[in-house]
A and B are shown apart, each in its own frame.
Chain A
C-alpha cells in the first residue's frame, strides 16, 4: 500500500533543500533567531522571577516544539495545495501511488526537518540555558514525535480539501491559532472559564502540550496515557477522513 514511500520521502527532502531559502528558512533561521534572542536576553533573565525561570525551564522547550510542529502543518498544507494547483497531484494520481503515501511522505519530510531543527536548537540552547542532567531527551523526543504526527494529521485533512494555495494559509491559520491560544501553554486549562475549558479539551494541541510538559518535567508516561490516546484518536480520525475526501485536482 505504501509502495514508493521511502523513495518519495527522500526525493521530497532533496527537492525541498533545493528550494531557494528551503534549508535556510526552515532549519537555520529558527536556530539563528533562537541563538540571537538567547544571547540578547539570556543574561538578563537568569536572576528574574521564579515564574519566568519556570517558564524557561519547562515552557520554552514545549513552546518551541509546538511552534515548529505548527509551522510544519502550514507548510504541509501549502505544499499539497501547490502540488494540486500545479497538476503534480494529477500526474501522481495515474500511478499506483495512493494519497496516504503522498501525505505520509510529506509528513515524514516535515518530521525529519523538525527533528533536525530541534536538535540544532537544543545544541545551541545548551550554551545559554544550563540543561539539567535530568532532561529526558529520549522521552521528550518520543512525545514530540507522537504530538507532531497527530497535529500534522490535522494538516492532512486541511490539505486534502483546500482547493488552492491561497485558501490554504487562511484556513490553516483560522484553525491553528485558536489552538495555540487555548492549548494551556499560556493559561493553564484549569483556570479558564468552563466554556473555554470544554473547547480546549476538544483540541488536540491541548493534549500535546500536556504530554510534552509532563514528560519534560519528568512525569511518568503512565500518567499521560490519556493524552497519548487522545492524540492517537485524532490521528486516526483525521487520516481516515482525509483519505476519503482527498482531492487530486
Chain B
C-alpha cells in the first residue's frame, strides 16, 4: 500500500517502444498495475500485447521508455526480478517425455523458497497426472501445469500470456477460478487476452491496446460507461397504449417498434428501472422482457471501428 492509502503500483510502464526491424510492435505504451489486482492487456493478435508483457518480464529490452517492477529494472536486475515473478508464456512447451512431477521438481530447485510441489499439483487438479508425460496431457492440463510452474516460487507478480487460448469453455472457466484464487491470495496478476469475455469476467482493470498503442484504461464497467453508455431494453406487448407511454419516459432516447416487439434505448443507471416502473404504473402486460447491456466487445468496436476478431 502507498502512503496515500491507495494500492501502490507494482508495475510502472512509461512510454515504452519496441520495433522488430521496420515494424513497430509497440509504439508508445504507458500504464500502471496496482498491487493485488488482476490487470488485463486486451487487444487483437499482433497488437503488441506479448511484446509489452515480455518487456516487463525482462525477457526483451524496450528500445525506449522506462519500466519498473517492484522498484526494480526488469532488464538490468533480471535475476532478482525472476525470483519474485511467475511467468506463463504463450506457445511455450516442455520436453515431450518429461513427467509432470519432474517439471515441478526441476522448477522448484531453481528458486530459493519454493512452495510444496505436491500440494500445488493437488490444488490445480493435477495430482493424478503426477507421473504422466507432458506430451500426453490435454490442453487444459498443460496450461494448469504451466500455472503450477508459474506459482512454484510463490511469486509476488504472476504473468499469464493468452492463458486460455485454444481451451474449451469448461476448462476456461476452471482456469478463471484458479486465476481469481491467485489474486485472492494477495498476488498481482498481469494477463493478456484477446477474449473480451475473459477480460470482462476476470480483470479488475484492463488496458485496450491496438497497433502498439494503448487506447484506454479502466475497469470494464468504467470503460463501458464511458464509451457505450446506451442501454437497450427489448420487450414484447400487445397493449395499444404501450408505445405512447414508453416514449414518454424521459430517459428513453429511441424507440423502435416491429410488430409487437419494442426496442428501447436510453442512458443512465435508472433507465431500466424507469422502464419497469412505466410498465407497472400503466398496467401494461408484457410477454417478453430483456435487457441488452453493452460489454467490452462493444467498447472495442466503438473505439477501433472493428470487431476484435476481424
Chain A residues with CB under 8 Å of chain B are 3-4, 7-8, 11-12, 14-15, 18-19, 83, 86-88, 90-91, 93-97
Residues of A within 8 Å of B210, CB to CB, are none
Interface string of B21-60 (1 = CB under 8 A from A): 0000000000000000000000000000000000001010
User: Known: A94-B87, A95-B82. Is A7-B109 also a contact (CB below 8 A)?
Assistant: yes
Chain B interface residue bracket vs A: 20 to 34
- In the assembled complex, the CB of A88 is this many whole angstroms from the nearest CB of chain B, namely 5
Report the Cα distance A186→B89, complex, angstroms: 50
Choose from B57, B82, B83, B92 the contact partner of A88 (Cβ within 8 Å).
Answer: B92
Decide: A96 and B98 in contact? CB cutoff 8 A: no
Decide: A91 and B59 in contact? CB cutoff 8 A: no
Decide: A18 and B97 in contact? CB cutoff 8 A: yes
Which B residue's beta carbon lies closest to that of A98? B79
- In the assembled complex, the CB of B202 is this many whole angstroms from the nearest CB of chain A, namely 22
- In the assembled complex, the CB of B275 is this many whole angstroms from the nearest CB of chain A, namely 52
Residues of B within 8 Å of A18, CB to CB, are 97, 133
> Quick one: which of B86-143 are within 8 Å of A by CB?
87, 89, 91-95, 97-98, 102, 105-107, 109-111, 133
Choose from B89, B97, B109, B111 the contact partner of A94 (Cβ within 8 Å).
Answer: B89
Further pairs besides A90-B92, A94-B89: 10, Cβ < 8 Å: A4-B109, A4-B110, A7-B105, A11-B102, A11-B106, A87-B92, A87-B93, A94-B82, A96-B82, A96-B111
Interface string of B168-185 (1 = CB under 8 A from A): 000000000000000000
User: Known: A94-B87, A96-B79. Is A4-B98 also a contact (CB below 8 A)?
Assistant: no
Decide: B59 and A97 in contact? CB cutoff 8 A: no
- In the assembled complex, the CB of A125 is this many whole angstroms from the nearest CB of chain B, namely 32
Residues of B within 8 Å of A87, CB to CB, are 89, 91-93
Decide: B93 and A86 in contact? CB cutoff 8 A: yes
Residues of B within 8 Å of A97, CB to CB, are 110
Which A residue's beta carbon lies closest to that of B152? A95
Which B residue's beta carbon lies closest to that of A79? B95
Q: Which of A3, A8, A83, A96 is packed against the most chain B CB atoms within 10 Å?
A: A96
Choose from A83, A88, A96 the contact partner of B110 (Cβ within 8 Å).
Answer: A96
- In the assembled complex, the CB of A113 is this many whole angstroms from the nearest CB of chain B, namely 16
Which B residue's beta carbon lies closest to that of A90? B92
Q: Which of A4, A87, A90, A94 is packed against the most chain B CB atoms within 10 Å?
A: A94
User: Known: A11-B98, A11-B102, A18-B97. Is A95-B107 also a contact (CB below 8 A)?
Assistant: yes
Residues of B within 8 Å of A7, CB to CB, are 105-106, 109
Interface string of B240-256 (1 = CB under 8 A from A): 00000000000000000
Choose from B83, B93, B102, B133 the contact partner of A96 (Cβ within 8 Å).
Answer: B83
Residues of A within 8 Å of B91, CB to CB, are 87, 90
Report the Cα distance A121→B267, complex, angstroms: 84
- In the assembled complex, the CB of A181 is this many whole angstroms from the nearest CB of chain B, namely 35
Which B residue's beta carbon lies closest to that of A20? B97
Report the Cα distance A90→B149, complex, angstroms: 14
Report the Cα distance A157→B186, complex, angstroms: 44
Residues of A within 8 Å of B89, CB to CB, are 87, 90-91, 94
User: Known: A15-B97, A88-B92. Is A94-B110 also a contact (CB below 8 A)?
Assistant: no
Report the Cα distance A19→B96, complex, angstroms: 9
Jot down 20 A-B pairs with beta carbons below 8 A, ordered by A: A3-B109, A4-B109, A7-B105, A7-B106, A14-B102, A15-B95, A15-B98, A18-B133, A83-B95, A86-B93, A88-B92, A88-B93, A88-B95, A90-B92, A91-B146, A94-B59, A94-B82, A94-B87, A96-B83, A96-B111
Report the Cα distance A249→B187, complex, angstroms: 29
Which A residue's beta carbon lies closest to that of B58? A94
Residues of B within 8 Å of A88, CB to CB, are 92-95
Residues of B within 8 Å of A3, CB to CB, are 109-110
Lowest 5 A-B CB distances belong to which pairs?
A91-B92, A94-B87, A18-B97, A87-B93, A87-B92
Residues of B within 8 Å of A15, CB to CB, are 95, 97-98
Residues of B within 8 Å of A11, CB to CB, are 98, 102, 106
User: Known: A18-B97, A94-B87. Is A4-B82 also a contact (CB below 8 A)?
Assistant: no
Residues of A within 8 Å of B93, CB to CB, are 86-88, 91
- In the assembled complex, the CB of A58 is this many whole angstroms from the nearest CB of chain B, namely 40
Report the Cα distance A14→B105, complex, angstroms: 14
Report the Cα distance A97→B59, complex, angstroms: 13
Residues of A within 8 Å of B146, CB to CB, are 91
Decide: A19 and B97 in contact? CB cutoff 8 A: yes
Residues of A within 8 Å of B110, CB to CB, are 3-4, 95-97
Decide: A8 and B92 in contact? CB cutoff 8 A: no
Which A residue's beta carbon lies closest to that of B95? A15
User: Known: A4-B106, A7-B109. Is A91-B83 also a contact (CB below 8 A)?
Assistant: no
Report the Cα distance A87→B89, complex, angstroms: 9
Which B residue's beta carbon lies closest to that of A19? B97
